[in-house]
Amino acid sequence: MLIKPVSDKRVYDPDNGDYLPVSGRNVEFNQYWARRLANNDVVEITNIKVKQEKKVIKNDN
């Protein structure tokens, strides 16, 4: 599950031993993160913009 902290909150990530980055992090959903979601400390990131690479096809004719 990809989550990020709400606004200016610092949310501890016990699995990594540091704070959740502002940009977010992929974490394994468990009771700890369920509580953080219920307390509105974090939000789940659902809309991820994926950069598409253009495929270049060379024509050797």
For 8-55, the pLDDT digits (tens) are 899 999 999 999 999 999 999 999 999 999 999 999 998 766 555 555
Q: What pLDDT does 55 receive?
A: 59
Q: Can you give the residue ranges of every domain in the chain?
A: 2-44
Q: What pLDDT does 20 receive?
A: 96
- Give the separation between CA 61 and CA 29, rounded to whole angstroms: 53
Torsion of CA 25, 27, 29, 32, to 10 degrees: -80
